[in-house]
């Protein structure tokens, strides 16, 4: 009886899931039943007066008037729209047309009271929502710089309320929090004051043909932060920004299923970074056909809080990494896979079943793989990987970077692959070459402490020097 009951229950759950599967995305991609222009709601489009109320009225009217199971589009014709936080509603899609710019306000009173709701565009607990069109959302991030500095800008802190400490008290640009079925397509997201596009506890998000420009010298200018969210697709994007470009984080729940393809990235920190907030599982990510240009780190795992990571594949990726000022996390590693407890109160998380296939890189430092002890880093595969090492900036090398937390920065000669505490490492058709005279201090193509690295398979591993 119990078995039969369970079987019925499973069939029921399955039926409900497949029932939901097709409808939501078709709503977002089908023609809207209604389109309303913000100009018809008396927006000035001047960029000088606040259009917040006019935009919000259009969104609210759209949400009320849309027919069931359809969307309503809010059209922004060309012009500049200065605004405080605007709130998306279910089944409302903003169409920011080419030539239209939504300008985020630069005053504390432009944003809601709670710091976690500081976004220019905010969607909370809604479904079937989107931001599309060829126009842009601009956070006016440069207005938040108190001192320009080529190493790292000094930023304002809206900490006067006392609810927020330090220099990270600044608004993000676009946030989807607790949403289902999200589409971000065709828009430019420019100059966020802090993080740019933030997904929190979302299900089913598609981010396509989006370009993100954050100031290269501004800290915390992350591109896309995927926090506690499942089923995220990123494709045909350009992300050129100061801080991490694509950054999955797990703070209150797992991050499952990310596919990121056909995307170009430059970052003064990591192009791809898992962590460092890593309290829950990361699983089922595919990164394919990416170009990573002159970034401080290429593909990075910064696991520090006990969450476990598995089944991640990187394929067909072209990387160049270089040194920037060490105040930015990253040490020019093309590939960086680390797990260690952040501090005494943290646990180590495991990293397993990770593949790197068809990767080429030119970089100022080698690959760094560190499991920190205890069998936390297992089953890594590198297949068809060409790594070229040379130096072209004047920054000093010779440091292993365990930040944040753990052992911080540790002196150690650079190597092609620096490896410790790993169980199961398979290198197949891996070519390593380095410029002989520029990297004299590099004595090791493979640098590892045998007692901490088990089950290494080297198949077609080639190492050469060259001069150019």
Q: Write out the residues near ligand NAG by the rule CB under 6 A.
A: 17, 20-21, 23-24, 41-42, 68-69, 75, 95, 97, 132-133, 157, 159, 162, 165-167, 180-181, 201, 203-204, 228-231, 253-254, 256-257, 262-264, 280-281, 284, 289, 291, 306-308, 315-316, 350, 357-358, 360, 384, 386, 393-394, 431
User: 398 vs 443, which CB is nearer to ligand NAG?
Assistant: 398
Query: Which token pair is 239?
Result: 């992300």
The residue among 211 and 452 lying less far from ligand NAG, judged by its C-beta, is 211
Q: Shortest gap between Cβ of 164 and ligand NAG (angstroms)?
A: 7
Residue 302 vs 448, nearer CB to ligand NAG? 302
Tell me the closest approach of the beta carbon of residue 365 to ligand NAG, in angstroms.
16
The 10 Å Cβ neighbour count of residue 206 is 19
Bridge partners of 123, per DSSP, are 88, 176
Least separation in angstroms between CB 204 and ligand NAG:
4
Largest CA distance in the chain: 75
Question: Which stretches of 396-457 are DSSP H helices?
Answer: none
Rounded Cα gap, residues 58 and 81, in angstroms: 13
Q: What CA–CA distance (Å, rounded) separates 258 from 287?
A: 8
Q: What letters, b where the CB count within 10 A reaches 16 and e where it falls short, cover 222-253?
A: bbbbbbbbbbbbbbbbbbbbbbbbbbbbbeee
CB-wise, 7 or 69, nearer to ligand NAG? 69
The residue among 77 and 412 lying less far from ligand NAG, judged by its C-beta, is 77
Q: Rounded to the nearest whole angstrom, what is the least distance from the CB of residue 101 to ligand NAG in the complex?
A: 15
* Locus of tokens 């710091």: 115
State residue 126 phi and psi, 5-degree precision: -130, 165
d(CA 103, CA 433): 48
Specify the DSSP class assigned to residue 242: S
The distance of closest approach from Cβ of residue 410 to ligand NAG in the complex, given in angstroms and rounded to an integer, is: 25
Q: Smaller CB distance to ligand NAG: residue 94 or 369?
A: 94
Q: Minimal distance in Å, beta carbon 154 to ligand NAG? A: 8
Helices and strands (H and E) in the chain: how many: 2, 37
How long is the chain? 468
Q: Are strands 92-96 and 127-132 parallel, antiparallel or unpaired?
A: parallel
Q: Which residues contact 98 (CB under 8 A, 6 or more apart)?
A: 78, 133, 134, 135
| Ranges of H-type helices in 182-233 | none
CA dihedral 282, 284, 288, 294 (to 10 degrees): 10
Scan for tokens 């890593």, then name that residue.
278
Q: Residue 26's CB: how many other CB atoms inside 10 A?
A: 11
Nearest distance from residue 291's CB to ligand NAG, in Å? 6
Closest to 264 measured CA to CA, from 241, 281, 286:
241
CB of 412 to ligand NAG, least distance (A): 23
146/373 Cα distance (integer angstroms): 43
Measured CA to CA in angstroms, residue 107 lies from 104, 168, 170, 230 at distances of 9, 15, 10, 33
Helix (H) or strand (E) segment spanning residue 148: none
CB of 134 to ligand NAG, least distance (A): 8
Smallest separation (angstroms) from ligand NAG to the CB of 429: 8
The distance of closest approach from Cβ of residue 435 to ligand NAG in the complex, given in angstroms and rounded to an integer, is 15
Instruction: Give the residue with the Cβ less far from ligand NAG, 219 or 448.
Output: 219
CB of 1 to ligand NAG, least distance (A): 28
CA 402 distance to own-chain centroid: 20
Nearer to ligand NAG, 395 or 456 (CB): 395
CB nearer to ligand NAG: give 68 or 450.
68
Residue placing its CB nearer to ligand NAG in the complex, 164 or 412: 164
Range list of H helices, 172-306:
none
Nearer to ligand NAG, 236 or 412 (CB): 236
Q: 179 or 400, CB closer to ligand NAG?
A: 179
């Amino acid at each position: 009886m119990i078995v039969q009951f369970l079987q019925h229950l499973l069939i029921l759950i399955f039926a409900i899931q497949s029932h939901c599967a097709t409808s939501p995305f078709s709503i977002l991609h089908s023609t809207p039943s209604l389109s309303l222009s913000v100009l018809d709601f008396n927006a000035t489009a001047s960029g000088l007066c606040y259009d917040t109320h006019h935009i919000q009225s259009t969104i609210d009217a759209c949400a009320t008037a849309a027919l069931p199971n359809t969307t309503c589009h809010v059209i922004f014709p060309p012009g500049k729209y200065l605004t405080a936080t605007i709130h998306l509603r279910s089944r409302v899609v903003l169409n920011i047309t080419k030539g239209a710019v939504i300008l985020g306000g630069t005053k504390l009173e432009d944003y809601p009271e709670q710091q976690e709701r500081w976004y220019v565009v905010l969607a909370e607990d809604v479904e079937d929502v989107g931001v599309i069109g060829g126009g842009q959302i601009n956070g006016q991030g440069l207005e938040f710089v108190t001192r320009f500095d080529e190493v790292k800008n000094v930023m304002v802190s809206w900490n006067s309320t006392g609810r927020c400490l330090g220099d990270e008290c600044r608004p993000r640009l676009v946030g989807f929090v607790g949403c289902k079925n999200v589409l971000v397509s065709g828009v430019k997201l420019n100059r966020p004051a802090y993080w740019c596009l933030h997904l929190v506890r979302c299900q089913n998000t598609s981010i396509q043909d989006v370009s993100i420009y954050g100031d290269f010298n501004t800290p915390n200018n992350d591109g896309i932060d995927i926090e506690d969210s499942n089923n995220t697709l990123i494709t045909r994007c350009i992300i050129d920004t100061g801080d991490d470009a694509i950054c999955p984080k797990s703070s209150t729940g797992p991050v499952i299923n990310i596919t990121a393809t056909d995307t170009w990235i430059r970052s003064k920190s990591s192009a791809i970074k898992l962590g460092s907030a890593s309290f829950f599982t990361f699983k089922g990510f595919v990164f394919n056909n990416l170009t990573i240009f002159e970034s401080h780190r290429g593909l990075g795992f910064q696991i520090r809080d006990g969450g476990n990571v598995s089944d991640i594949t990187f394929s067909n990726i072209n990387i160049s990494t270089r040194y920037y000022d060490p105040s930015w996390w990253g040490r020019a590693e093309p590939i960086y896979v680390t797990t260690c407890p952040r501090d005494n109160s943290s646990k180590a998380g495991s990293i397993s079943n990770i593949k790197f296939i068809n990767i080429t890189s030119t970089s100022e430092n080698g690959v760094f793989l560190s499991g920190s002890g205890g069998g936390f880093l297992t089953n890594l595969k590198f297949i068809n990987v060409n790594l070229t090492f040379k130096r072209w900036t004047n920054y000093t090398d010779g440091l292993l970077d365990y930040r944040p937390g753990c052992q911080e920065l540790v002196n150690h000669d650079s190597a092609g692959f620096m490896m410790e505490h790993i169980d199961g490492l398979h290198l197949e058709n891996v070519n390593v070459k380095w410029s002989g005279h520029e990297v004299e201090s590099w004595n090791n193509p493979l640098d590892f402490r045998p007692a901490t690295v088990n089950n290494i398979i080297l198949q077609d591993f080639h190492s050469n020097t060259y001069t150019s």
